[in-house]
Structure 1
């Protein structure tokens, strides 16, 4: 991190988060020197990042949070990660949708970005178990768009899951399913830390003709508690240009790989 002074709190926190992601840890004393602010200001910045699940405070600084297979980040925590990549993926994935299509969109921050892009596509029917996806589509109201919200119990990622959700999905059929993932791995496949969400994702995949996974490069190699599909089940993976070479090789041999940006 280069020496930068006179920044507003969101700008400082973005730089601190970038350093955390790159180095894995930051020290209060070093941040005070580089950002030209007080010890108390830095501690407030770290408190803010920790409250959003983006940092774990330790004596003298903070570390990148340790992610366990059963940990489920909140929607707010995920919203500030890899935002540029997610929007690039969303723009590219939206080109796969034809006017008048019926699509299903799972929960997630990348799928929420996709929903914003799909407001420009006429005549869509969108089935979703995501409150943010439904909100994005309904904020931009259109007489020729139908939004079907499944109902169910709400998770920390603002996904609707459970028996009500699964029953609704079993009665539907769509042309495309857009699926966000917690993790994408060569051996484990598509995973989530929430077992109820895994069951819901399986039902959504079963309702679709083609399965499109939207996942930024940081999802590769991450493994959640519950697998809901294999990579061989996926028709298209839309990721970003920072996807590592081993991931590109593995995915391109098993599915159509599209890199955005």
Structure 2
């Protein structure tokens, strides 16, 4: 099937149902996740659809800055890209460090990789992510510190209790998962989570933002920080050229992660 034919079918699905999921299109079109995402990107550039997490919607549907999907829903989105990003971030983990790891699906993948790599231990990991804590629970030579706080739909612990815990801590590096990215910085739909994310960054000597390329242009209700507050941004190499140039200039370091053969789809 030619690219134009695929795009016509994607557009027809969006017009018929108001939205189309990448996972469904992969099956319907019998192509890869990345091929579908490129087709959606082409349609978005033409103004025919609007890209959202996990797929596309009709361009006249308003973007909702307070949408907060649950962990299980987000875990299936952009899994190849998230795995690549987490693997690239793992290169900044060294034995003996203390780390802060935020809640999120990409940071959860990073935690699973840490758990599977004995050479990176010992480590101390401070987290406000329940899934991150679960991934590291019982791993030898990894001390896990949970912040406490109120639970969000994405299994993050946020609010005054979490913020107070982080206020007096000092770690070597924070790995921060985010809801969206734009020219001004990372964002989240949850006001309390934005405050806790800022506390996670403030307690660290260096801060790394982890995101897949589909989050570029997604804007949540609350801005977490400016790009000059971040040491490193790790994103997959499907990020478009304009966004790459902006992040390379605005953030301390831009790392582009490439998927590897055998990564989960």
The CA distance in 1 between the partners of 2:139 and 2:196, in whole Å, is 28
Q: Is 1:135 the counterpart of 2:134 in the alignment?
A: yes
Aligned-residue offset at 1:118: 1.2
Number of residue pairs matched by the alignment = 218
CA contact (8 A) 1:20 1:63 kept: no
Superposed CA RMSD: 2.6
Per-residue displacement from partner, 1:154-197 (whole Å, max 9, x unpaired)? 1011100111111111121100000011111113x111000010
Aligned counterpart, 2:17: none
Distance 1:260 1:72, change over 3 A: same
- Structure 2: segments with no counterpart, 5+ residues: 7-22, 42-52, 259-265
Aligned-residue offset at 1:55: 7.8
Q: Compute the TM-score of the two structures, normalised by the length of structure 1.
A: 0.76
Q: Is 1:251 the counterpart of 2:250 in the alignment?
A: no
The CA distance in 1 between the partners of 2:54 and 2:247, in whole Å, is 29
The CA distance in 2 between the partners of 1:75 and 1:106, in whole Å, is 13
The CA distance in 1 between the partners of 2:139 and 2:103, in whole Å, is 22
**Counterparts in 2 of 1:207-226, with a 5 A limit?**
207-226=203-222
Structure of greater Rg: 1
The CA distance in 2 between the partners of 1:23 and 1:253, in whole Å, is 27
Per-residue displacement from partner, 1:105-163 (whole Å, max 9, x unpaired)? 0111000001011121210000000011001111xx33311000111111011100111
Q: Is 1:145 the counterpart of 2:157 in the alignment?
A: no
Aligned counterpart, 2:153: 156
SS at 2:201's partner residue? Answer: helix
Q: Compute the TM-score of the two structures, normalised by the length of structure 2.
A: 0.75
The CA distance in 1 between the partners of 2:215 and 2:25, in whole Å, is 23
CA contact (8 A) 1:104 1:127 kept: yes
Aligned-residue offset at 1:63: 6.8
SS at 2:154's partner residue? Answer: coil
Aligned counterpart, 2:125: 126
* Match among 102, 106, 129 for residue 98 of structure 2: 102
* Match among 166, 169, 192 for residue 169 of structure 1: 166
Distance 1:66 1:130, change over 3 A: farther
Distance 1:198 1:16, change over 3 A: farther
Distance 1:23 1:215, change over 3 A: closer
